[in-house]
Structure 1
C-alpha cells in the first residue's frame, strides 16, 4: 500500500502478509485501558485490534480512515489528514473532534481532551511505519483506566525493535500530486537492548485541488529499550512537523425533499475533489493577538508541531508484584487556518447585500485582478459567490505532561488468582489559543485557482480590500476575536481487582478524577468591553477603508477562569469461558468527561470570578451496559456485543455559534468477524444503533429526534486473496442515511465506498503495489450545515474525497 499518496499505507507490508496467520486469541494480548495485559477471550471487554496487514488493504489516506474499520466507531474522515469527527456507539457528535473517545499513542493520550476547538487530537497523530498495531476498546474499563474517555480508547502501539530489519518505501499519486518517502529500522544491540526508529517525509498538492503544495512535512519517531530479567525500561522521542489542508464544508446543489434529497456537484466545483483553498487565497492580513497587523499564509492549513519525550518501564520485583510506569512530556503547538463558507449564494444577490443596490463586482486577486465581472450570473458557469470566514487560529501552546503509575499484585487465592491494582494518574494540559478571523468574498471555482472578489457600491466606492469584507467575523455576527490561556490539571487515583477461577473472571475498577482549571479568557462575547466593532487602519496606509470600519479587536480586558471539579467513575464485569474457543461477558460502567475550552465563552462561566454558574457544566457523564459473546476457532471468529448507553452533554459549536445542553440514549448491536480458507480471507465489522435526544434544555423541539449524522447502520467488509507472489484485496466502507442536523429535517444519503489494493513481489525483498481509495468515485456526505433545503438549493456540506490512485515500491532489508 502506498503512503505518498496515502499517508497511512506506508506503515504496512506491501503485499503478501509477513505476519503469522491463524493466531489464536490467547496470543492476542490486550494492553489498552486494562490494569495489565490479558488475552481477549478472558476479558469482559469489547476490544478490537488492527494489524499493519489489515490496514494496508483499506488503502487509507488518513488516520480517521483507518478507524472506520473498527466496530462501534463512527469516523467522519472527510476533513483531510486530521480534523475528523469520531464517536463511538451512538454517543453524540454535537461539535467537532472526539469528545467521549480518547486517542492514544503507546498507552498515553495525545491530548487530554479530544475536542479542543480547532485542535482535534487526530491533527497531532500520524500513522506510519512505526505502528505495530492498533487497539480499540469501547466502553468498559476506559471509564476507569483513562480520564475523559468514557466512550472508548483507540491506542496506536509502536514497534520496539523486537524484530531486526527495516524498510524503505517510496510512493506517489498516480492521479494526484503527492510524493512520499517512508523508512524504518529496528533490531537488537547485544542481548539486552533493542531499538527502533522510523518516519516519513512527503510533499504535494494532496487529494483535492488547492493550486499549491498543500501537504508538506513529516515525522520522526525512535525508541530505545533496555531489558532486564525482571522487566524493561524504554525511552522514546517523537518529532512531528507537518502541514496539511483542512477540507471544510463546500457548496453542493440539493434537490428533491428533505427526506429524499439528491445531492449534486455545482458546475466547475466537484463535491469530492474541490476545496475553497486556492493559490490566490494565500496571504491573509489580520490584526494579530496584540491587535498589530500581521499577514498569515492559508497554505499553513493544519500545522501540528510536536516535540515529545517519554519513558515507559515495567519492573517485576517478585512475590507477584508488577510496577508499571509511563511518563511523557509533549511540547505541542501549531496552526489551523482554512476558509469556511458562511453564506453561498447568487453573485448578484451577494453583491447587493454587501454593496447595496447597483453594486458591481471585480476580481481582487489572481491573473484577472482589477478586471470587472460584467455578467455575474455566468461567473464560472455557476454564478455563485461565497461569503467566507477565514478560521485563522493560532495554537500557541497545547503542551501536555502525563504520568501513569500503577502497582499490581497477583495473589493465589484458593483455586483462582486474585489481581489487585492501585495507581495514580497525573496530567497537565495547556490550551493557549488565539482566534484571528476575517471575512472575505470568494468565487466558487474548484481547480485551486479561485479568486477573491471586490465589491463596489453604486458610486464606485470599494466595500472590500483585496476581497476582504471585514477584519473580523463579519459574516458570523462579528463574533470570535478571542484569546484564552487556560491550564487543566488532573489527579486521578484508581484501583481495580479481578479474580479468575474455573473459567470465570470477575473484574471491577474505580477512578476518582479531581480537576483544577486556571487561566484567563478574552473575547467580545464575554461582554466585558463595549462594541466589538471599531475602525482601525489595519493595512497602515493612513486611510480608513470600508472593511477597516468592520474591524474586531482582541479585547484588552480578560476574565479569569478559576474552578475545580471532581467525579467518580467505575466499571464492573463478569466473563465466563465456556470452552477454549467460546466466552461471554456482561459489564456496566459509568464514566465522566470533563469539558474544556468549549464552555469558556458560554453561560456556564462567571466572568466576575472565573467560577461556574452551573457546576454540572464541568463534567458530562456516560453510563453504559453491555453484553457480549466471543467465538474463535482456527479459521473463524465472531464477536457479538449488545450495548446500551445514556449520555449528558454541554457543548459549543464554533461554526454555528450554538450552545448545547442535552441528554441522549443509544442502544444497539456490534458485530465483528472473520473467515479464512486457503489463501482467501474476509473480515467484517458492523454496528446497528438506535439513538435519540431524550432531553434538550435549549431547543426542546429536538427531543425524540435522532442525533445529527448518526446512521442506524455502519459497516466495513474486507475480502482478500493472498498468494505466494501477490496479494489482492478490497475494503468496503458503508453507512446508512442520517440527518444533517438535530431537527430531523434534511437527510444525508447513505453510501458505500470501495477501496482496493494489489501488490506483487517480483523478488524476495521488493514489493510493488497500487492502491485505490474510493475506487468508484462515489460522493459520500458526512455533514451539512443546513437542517433543511434552503430556497436557493445550495447546501454547505462535506464529502469524502474522490478517487485517488497511488503506487509504491517497498524494499526490505
Structure 2
C-alpha cells in the first residue's frame, strides 16, 4: 500500500472517531472538561511569547506532572517513546540512548535533536560521541513539566537541532511550601530516593531544591554495582518590587555512573534471535561488560599509564550554574538574558563487540597460521596444542583437547575495550529583546530579536583496544598460550587478553566559538497567527589533534614474548596537526496557525535547517594523507566536515471537544549530505569507510486522547512514515573476500528507522474510598520493522512492550506506586550491530544485537506535601 494511501486511511479513521464522539457530547460537557492534550496549557518553548498550545504554530507534545508520574520513564529515551515523530532506542540503559527524528538516520546518538534544561542546553555541542545530551540532562521528580517541539521553529531557537528539541522545566517556588519525597527499590536490587521542596523566602523571593540518588545492579546484572550516583538541583527566583520582572539563579551538580548495554552475541538470525547455548541469555544476560573482564591496565605506554575499569560505564561529573533575568522596560519592550556556565567531565568505558562469536579453536589456528615459525613446536601428536587461560589470573580454563566444549559453545569473541574521556567547559549566553506593537491594523505584531553566543573548550582522548572474551553469562578476558610437548609455554597469541586486530587512538584539544543572531516575528489578527523566523549561525573551531603512532607491545613492556610482543597498538606519536575552520549557516522558517473555532485549529510550516559539525568531525584531520588535503580541511572545504542540511514541511490539525482531543501532523522531512563513518569488520580489523547519504521521509504523526468515562482515559501517540534513501551514489562495502563492492540503496529504508511506531496508553482512576485515591495505568509501546543495514538484508522485526502501573494515595499525601516494565518480557531487537557491517550486514550463524531491557518490578513509597 502506498504511503499516501495509508496516511489518508489513518487520518480518516481518526477524523471519524472525532466526529462520532463529538456528536455525543453536550455543550455543557464540552465547557466543563479541559483538553486531554492540554491545548489550553500556556507553553513557553519554541515561541516568541507565552501562548496557549492551541495557538502554537509548532507540532508539540507536553507532559505535566501527572502524566510524567504515570509513565514513570526510567530514562529520557523511554520518555521519548511518548512523543510522535521521534523514534527512540531506549535499550542503552538509563543513559546513552538513541533518538531518530522523522525518518533521519543517525551517525551518533541524538544528532538532530536537542535537550534543554529550563530553556538552554546544558552543554551546547551536545552530541559528542559517547558524551551525548541524555548523559547530563536527566529526569527526576524535580522536573515539573516537559515541552517537546517536533520540527517547527526548532532551528531558530536552538542551533543544530533542526528536527526538534525537548525542554525540561524545573520546579520553582511559590507562596506555599510544597514538596515530595519517595524511596524506591526494584527487582534489580535498586535502592534510591528522590526529593524536592519549594516555597518562599519572603514576599519577593521563592526557592526550589531537589535531588536524587540511586544504586543498583541494572536490568542485566554484570556482577558489580552497575548504576550509582545522583544529582542536586536548586534555584532561587527574585521578583522585582514594581512587578516589572525577575532574576533567577540556578545550580546543578551531577555525579553519576550508569551501565551501558551494547549488542550482545546471539545465534539464529535477526528475525529469529536466540541465546547461544552457554552464553548470555537473550532476556537478561550481560552484554560483554562484566566483572570477569572489567579491568585493563597497561603501564609505560607512549601515552602514559592506562588504567581502565568498565564499572565506570557512562560516567558524568557535571556542574553548571547560571542566571536568567527578565525586565519589562515599558509597555512595548521586554529585555531578557540567560547565562549558563557548565564544567563537564564524562567518560565512556565499555566493551563493544567488534566481531561475531567464533570458535576458540579457530581463533587459535588463525594465530598459529600468522606466527607459524615462532610456534612450530606447538604442533605435535598431529595437532596444535595450546591452553586457554584467564587473562587476569593465568588459570587454565580449557585446552586444545576440550576447548570446543568450553562454556558449552567453545566460542570466543573479539571484544573492543573502548574508553573515551571528554573534558570541557562551556559558557553560553542568550540575550533577547521582545517587542509588542498593537497599532498594526486590528492585529498585534510580536517581535523577538536574539543573540546567542557559546564558547567551548574541550579535550577528547580515545583508546580502542581489541581483546578476546569468552561467550558466557559473565564473560572473561582470555589468553591463548601455545605449549610444547612437555607442556611448557612457548608463547602467547595474546597479551593480557589483547589480540592483534582492530585498535584505535585519538587525542584532540579544541575550542569552539559560536555566535548566532536570530529574529522571530508573529503577527496575530483575530484567529490567525503568522510566523517568520531566521537564525544565522557562525561556528569557528580550532585546535590540535595528535597523530597516532604504531607501537609493538614489546616496545613498552618487559613481560611480552616473541608472539604477543609483536602485537601493534596505536598511541600518540607526539606530533600534532593544527586546524582552524569556520562555518556559516542560515536557518529560516515560515508558518501560520488558524483557530477555526474554540475546538479546532490548523497550522502549517516550512523550515530550512542545519546541523553543524562537531569534534568527531575535526578528528578527521589526522586521517588526511597530504598537505593539500590538510589545507582543504582548514579552508572548511572537506566534505566530511560540512554541515548537514535539512528541510521540513508540516501541516497539522488540533481538535478538542469535550472528552476527545486529537493532534495530527503530516510532514515531509529531507536531509542532504549526512556523513557516516561506516565501520566494517574484516579479519578482526574495524575498517572505517566514509559514506554520504541523502534521505526523504513522508509521514503522519498522531496524538489522540479519549475520556471514555469519568475515571477512564485512553491515549495514542503514533507515527507512520515512509523513509528512504534518495539521490545517493552506490554504497561501498567490503565483501567477504575483503574486496570493495557496491550496492544501490536508493529506495531502501535508512538503518534502524521504522515505518511505524508508537505508544498506546490507558489509565483508570477509582472512586475515592477509605484509604484514599487509587489508579491503574497501562502503556504499550511498539516499533515496527526496521533494518540493521543500508542494503536492507538484515531485518529487525516488529516488537512491543507492555508496562503496567498502580498507585494509591491517601488524604495526608502518603502514597505507594508500583510499576512493571516490559511485563510481557519482549525480546525485541532495537538495533543490529553497527560494527559488523552497516552497509551490508553479512549475517552468519552468530551475530550481535541489542535487545530490549527485561521485565523489571519497581515499588516506591513516598509523601507529598
TM-score of the alignment, normalized to the shorter chain, above 0.5:
yes
Larger deviation, residues 46-55 vs 242-251: 46-55
Q: Does the 8 Å CA contact 1:537/1:544 hold for their aligned counterparts?
A: no
- Distance in 1 (CA, whole Å) between partners of 2:515 and 2:583 is 11
Give the corresponding residue for 1:16.
Answer: none
The superposition leaves residues 342-381 of structure 1 with CA deviations (integer Å, 9 ceiling, x where unpaired) of 1221222222223448253423157883343452222222
- Post-superposition shift, 1:469? 2.1
Q: Does the 8 Å CA contact 1:386/1:441 hold for their aligned counterparts?
A: yes
Determine whether 1:572 maps to 2:585: no
**Bigger relative contact order (CA 8 A; separation at least 6):** 1
- Distance in 1 (CA, whole Å) between partners of 2:71 and 2:679 is 31
- Post-superposition shift, 1:327? 1.0
Give the corresponding residue for 1:728.
Answer: 776
Q: Does the 8 Å CA contact 2:239/2:247 hold for their aligned counterparts?
A: yes
Give the corresponding residue for 1:38.
Answer: 51
Which of 244, 259, 270 is the matching residue for 1:230? 244
Give the corresponding residue for 1:618.
Answer: 642
Give the corresponding residue for 1:607.
Answer: 630
- Post-superposition shift, 1:766? 1.2
Give the corresponding residue for 2:13.
Answer: none
- Distance in 2 (CA, whole Å) between partners of 1:368 and 1:172 is 39
Give the corresponding residue for 2:434.
Answer: 408
- Distance in 2 (CA, whole Å) between partners of 1:292 and 1:811 is 51
- SS of aligned partner of 2:572: coil
Indicate how the Cα distance of structure 1 residues 98 and 68 shifts in structure 2: closer, same or farther if over 3 A, else same: same
- SS of aligned partner of 2:405: helix
Determine whether 1:143 maps to 2:155: yes
Which of 268, 271, 274 is the matching residue for 1:264? 274
Q: Where do 1:54-453 residues align within 5 Å?
A: 54-93=67-106, 95-162=107-174, 164-173=177-186, 175-228=187-240, 229-255=243-269, 261-267=271-277, 268-274=279-285, 275-286=287-298, 291-343=303-355, 344-356=357-369, 358=384, 360-365=386-391, 369-373=395-399, 374-395=401-422, 397-412=423-438, 413-446=440-473, 449-453=474-478
Indicate how the Cα distance of structure 1 residues 289 and 775 shifts in structure 2: closer, same or farther if over 3 A, else same: farther
- Post-superposition shift, 1:148? 0.4
Determine whether 1:468 maps to 2:468: no
- SS of aligned partner of 2:220: coil
- SS of aligned partner of 2:698: strand
Indicate how the Cα distance of structure 1 residues 378 and 798 shifts in structure 2: closer, same or farther if over 3 A, else same: same
- Distance in 1 (CA, whole Å) between partners of 2:36 and 2:864 is 24
Q: Does the 8 Å CA contact 2:300/2:556 hold for their aligned counterparts?
A: no
Give the corresponding residue for 2:762.
Answer: 719
The superposition leaves residues 146-173 of structure 1 with CA deviations (integer Å, 9 ceiling, x where unpaired) of 1101110111111112363112211111
Give the corresponding residue for 2:480.
Answer: 455
- SS of aligned partner of 1:461: strand
- Distance in 2 (CA, whole Å) between partners of 1:403 and 1:379 is 59
- Distance in 1 (CA, whole Å) between partners of 2:843 and 2:333 is 69
Give the corresponding residue for 1:51.
Answer: 64
- Post-superposition shift, 1:763? 5.7
**Structure number with bigger Rg:** 2
After superposition, the CA RMSD in angstroms is 2.3
Indicate how the Cα distance of structure 1 residues 482 and 122 shifts in structure 2: closer, same or farther if over 3 A, else same: same
Q: Does the 8 Å CA contact 1:283/1:296 hold for their aligned counterparts?
A: yes
Determine whether 1:672 maps to 2:690: no
- Post-superposition shift, 1:488? 1.6
- Distance in 2 (CA, whole Å) between partners of 1:394 and 1:101 is 23
Determine whether 1:628 maps to 2:648: no
Indicate how the Cα distance of structure 1 residues 586 and 763 shifts in structure 2: closer, same or farther if over 3 A, else same: closer
Which of 802, 805, 824 is the matching residue for 1:776? 824
- Distance in 1 (CA, whole Å) between partners of 2:774 and 2:367 is 60
Which of 497, 507, 521 is the matching residue for 2:531? 507
- Post-superposition shift, 1:26? 5.7
- Post-superposition shift, 1:629? 0.6
- Post-superposition shift, 1:736? 0.7
The superposition leaves residues 70-91 of structure 1 with CA deviations (integer Å, 9 ceiling, x where unpaired) of 1111111111121111121111
- SS of aligned partner of 1:469: coil
- SS of aligned partner of 2:290: coil
Q: Does the 8 Å CA contact 1:386/1:442 hold for their aligned counterparts?
A: yes
- Distance in 2 (CA, whole Å) between partners of 1:159 and 1:288 is 50
Q: Does the 8 Å CA contact 2:764/2:777 hold for their aligned counterparts?
A: yes
- SS of aligned partner of 1:127: coil
Q: Does the 8 Å CA contact 1:599/1:651 hold for their aligned counterparts?
A: no
The superposition leaves residues 125-161 of structure 1 with CA deviations (integer Å, 9 ceiling, x where unpaired) of 2101110111110111111111101110111111112
The superposition leaves residues 426-481 of structure 1 with CA deviations (integer Å, 9 ceiling, x where unpaired) of 012333111122221111122xx3221110235443435664224xxx432x4x21
Larger deviation, residues 350-359 vs 207-216: 350-359
Determine whether 1:750 maps to 2:773: no
- Distance in 2 (CA, whole Å) between partners of 1:381 and 1:764 is 57
- Post-superposition shift, 1:533? 3.9
> TM-score, normalization: structure 1?
0.91
The superposition leaves residues 11-65 of structure 1 with CA deviations (integer Å, 9 ceiling, x where unpaired) of xxxxxxxxx9757856412212222222211121101111232223334221111
Larger deviation, residues 209-218 vs 551-560: 551-560
Larger deviation, residues 692-701 vs 199-208: 692-701
Q: Does the 8 Å CA contact 1:140/1:587 hold for their aligned counterparts?
A: yes
Q: Does the 8 Å CA contact 1:750/1:780 hold for their aligned counterparts?
A: yes
Give the corresponding residue for 1:7.
Answer: none
Indicate how the Cα distance of structure 1 residues 400 and 289 shifts in structure 2: closer, same or farther if over 3 A, else same: farther
- Distance in 2 (CA, whole Å) between partners of 1:673 and 1:287 is 59
Q: Does the 8 Å CA contact 2:38/2:62 hold for their aligned counterparts?
A: no
Which of 707, 713, 716 is the matching residue for 1:681? 713
Count of residues paired in the alignment: 774
Determine whether 1:517 maps to 2:548: no
- SS of aligned partner of 1:475: coil
Indicate how the Cα distance of structure 1 residues 331 and 60 shifts in structure 2: closer, same or farther if over 3 A, else same: same
Q: Does the 8 Å CA contact 2:727/2:746 hold for their aligned counterparts?
A: yes
- Distance in 2 (CA, whole Å) between partners of 1:367 and 1:285 is 14
The superposition leaves residues 676-711 of structure 1 with CA deviations (integer Å, 9 ceiling, x where unpaired) of 131111111101111111133461622221101111
- SS of aligned partner of 2:153: helix
- SS of aligned partner of 1:246: coil
Indicate how the Cα distance of structure 1 residues 417 and 119 shifts in structure 2: closer, same or farther if over 3 A, else same: same
- SS of aligned partner of 2:501: helix
Q: Does the 8 Å CA contact 2:545/2:577 hold for their aligned counterparts?
A: yes
Q: Where do 1:531-550 residues align within 5 Å?
A: 532-539=550-557, 541=559, 546-547=564-565, 549-550=567-568
- Distance in 2 (CA, whole Å) between partners of 1:705 and 1:26 is 38
- Distance in 1 (CA, whole Å) between partners of 2:495 and 2:861 is 46
- Distance in 2 (CA, whole Å) between partners of 1:233 and 1:112 is 22
- Post-superposition shift, 1:667? 1.0
Larger deviation, residues 782-791 vs 663-672: 782-791
> TM-score, normalization: structure 2?
0.86
Q: Does the 8 Å CA contact 2:123/2:342 hold for their aligned counterparts?
A: no
Give the corresponding residue for 1:14.
Answer: none
- Distance in 2 (CA, whole Å) between partners of 1:596 and 1:450 is 35
- SS of aligned partner of 1:299: helix
Indicate how the Cα distance of structure 1 residues 643 and 790 shifts in structure 2: closer, same or farther if over 3 A, else same: closer
- Post-superposition shift, 1:671? 0.2
- Distance in 1 (CA, whole Å) between partners of 2:416 and 2:266 is 18
